[in-house]
Structure 1
C-alpha cells in the first residue's frame, strides 16, 4: 500500500490495513482450535489442515471459476481431517499431540503432492467490500477495502462468545472439556462431542487456508502458510479460550506481521525485513509468558492435555 499523500499516517494506516489482511487466517484457525480445545482436546494438525484447505480451495476455484465453491470444498476437507484426527484420538493411550503432528505432516505432504498442477493457473479471488469508496486517497481506499471473510470471522467470534455462555451446545462443550466423568453423568458421550468439535475446528481452519490462496496473498504455493496454523494454537492459549480474545489476539498477530511491509511502503529500505520475524517472536514471548510450573492457565478446560 502506498503512503503517498498522507505523510506520517502512512505507517499506522499500513499496519492497520495489514493487520486486517494478515489476521483473517489467524481468526478462523484460532476460533476453530478454541472450539476443539474447549472439549479438552488439542489439535496441532491445523497447520496441515490450513495448507490442504488452501490447496483445495484454489484447485476447486480454478476448475469451477467460483471462489465460494472453493471455500466450501476447503471446509469439507477440513472437516474430514478433523474427523480423522478425532476418530484416532478416541482410542485409549493415543496421544492427541502426537496424532496432531502426524496429521500436520500428512496434510502438508498431500497438499504439496496434489497441488503441483495448480501452482501456475490463476483462480478467481474472493470479493472485498470497498468501505473507503468515499475517499479520493488510494491509501484510505486500500485500508478500507475489507474482505468478506474478515467480516464473517468477526461475526463468528461474537457468536461463539455468546454461544459458549448461553446455549446448550456451549454448555456441552464446556462440561466435556472440564470433566469427562461429569459429561458421562449427564448422559453425554465425550468421544462423540470431541469428534464433532475437532471436525468443526478443522472446517474453520480450512477457511483460513482458503483465504490465503484466494485473497491474500491470493495464489497457491507450497510455502503459503509460514506456520500460521501452529501459531494459532499459541494464540488460543494467549486469548484464554475466549473467542473475542482470539479475534483481538489475531489482530495483534496480524499487526505484528504487517510491520515489515508497512515500513517498506513508506520508503524504509534498511532493516525493515527484521520486522518480518515479529509474529514468531511474539509467539515465543506469549508461550514463555503463559507457561509456569506452579500455576494453571486461567480459563483452561480441565481435561485439556497441555494443562496437566
Structure 2
C-alpha cells in the first residue's frame, strides 16, 4: 500500500509543510539579504542573477570536491563579489540602482547559463539533511521532516540580523543611512560604504539561497532552476515589512503555496495542476496590490526609490 494511502488526507498538510521548508529556504535567504540591502536605502533587482550564479558555483565546486558545504561557502563568496560590484557601481554619479540591477540580473543569469552548460548531466552530492523524522516508520513522514540545514541556519541568521539592526552600533548607523542620507552625512557617516557592505551581505545571502536550490531541492543544475525566485524576493521584503524575522514567515508562506500542487498530485488529484502551480506568482501579485505603496510608517526606509 502506498504511503499516501496510509496517511490519507493527513499526508497533504505534511507534504505542504515539507515542501514549504524545501521551497521556502532559498526565498528566506534571498529576502533576508534584500531586507538588509534595502535597510541601507538601496534596491538590488539583480538577485536573480546572483541566485543562479550561486547555484551554479555551489554545484560546480561540490562536483569537483565532493564537499557540499565547500560549495555553499563558494556560492556565498560569489554572491559577495556580485554584491560588491552592484554596490560599487551604484555609488557612481548618475547610476540608477534599479536599471543597474536589471542589467546585472541579465548578465549574471547569462554567465551562469554559459558556465553551467557542462554541469547539466553530472550528479553532485547533495547537502545532507537533518533527519528529524527518523522516529516514524512512514517514509512520507521521514521525507517531509528531512529538514534542509540551510533553513535552520537561515532562521538563526534572521533573528541575529534583526538583533544586529536594532541593537548594534553598525546596525543603527546602517538604518540611519537608509532613512536619511543627509542625516547620515551630518553624523559623519559614509552612505556609500554602508550601502556597499549591505549589498555585499545581500549578495552573499542570495548565493547561499542558490546553493540550496542546486544542492538540496531540486538538487541539480539546470537553466530553469530559480523560476524567478530572485525577483520575487523584492515582493517578499515588502510583505515582511523590512523585518528580517518576518522573512521566515514569508519564505514558508510562498514555499507552502508552491507545495500545494505537488501534494495534491501525490494523492491522485491532478485537475487544475497548472493553475495551482501558478499560485505563488498569483499570491505575489495579490500581495503587491493589496499592500499598496508602503511608506516609512510601514518600516520602509526613507531613501528607497519607491518612497521618492
Query: TM exceeds 0.5?
Result: yes
How far off its partner does 1:170 sit?
1.2
Q: In structure 1, what is the Cα distance between the partners aligned to 2:85 and 2:200?
A: 8
Matches within 5 A, 1:89-128: 89-128=90-129
Residue 10 of structure 2 is matched in structure 1 by 9
Residue 281 of structure 2 is matched in structure 1 by 280
What secondary structure sits across from 1:211 in the alignment?
helix
What secondary structure sits across from 1:206 in the alignment?
helix
How far off its partner does 1:158 sit?
1.1
Unaligned residue ranges in structure 2 (runs of 5+):
none
Residue 190 of structure 2 is matched in structure 1 by 189
Normalising by structure 1, what TM-score? 0.97
Deviation digits for residues 132-188 of structure 1 (CA, Å, limit 9, x no counterpart): 111111121112110110100111111111111111121011111001111112221
Matches within 5 A, 1:127-166: 127-166=128-167
Deviation digits for residues 6-30 of structure 1 (CA, Å, limit 9, x no counterpart): 1121111111111011000000000
Residue 305 of structure 1 is matched in structure 2 by 305
The question of whether the paired residues in 1 share the 8 Å contact of 2:178 and 2:303 is answered with yes
The question of whether the paired residues in 1 share the 8 Å contact of 2:78 and 2:207 is answered with yes
The question of whether the paired residues in 2 share the 8 Å contact of 1:297 and 1:307 is answered with no
Q: In structure 2, what is the Cα distance between the partners aligned to 1:132 and 1:85?
A: 42
Residue 215 of structure 1 is matched in structure 2 by 216
Q: In structure 1, what is the Cα distance between the partners aligned to 2:125 and 2:275?
A: 33
Residue 228 of structure 1 is matched in structure 2 by 229
What secondary structure sits across from 2:130 in the alignment?
strand
The total of aligned residue pairs comes to: 307
Q: Quick one: structure 1 residues 26 and 2, their matched pair in 2 at CA, closer, same or farther if it must change by over 3 Å?
A: farther
The question of whether the paired residues in 2 share the 8 Å contact of 1:290 and 1:297 is answered with no
Residue 52 of structure 2 is matched in structure 1 by 51
**C-alpha RMSD of matched pairs (Å):** 1.3
Q: In structure 2, what is the Cα distance between the partners aligned to 1:251 and 1:297?
A: 25
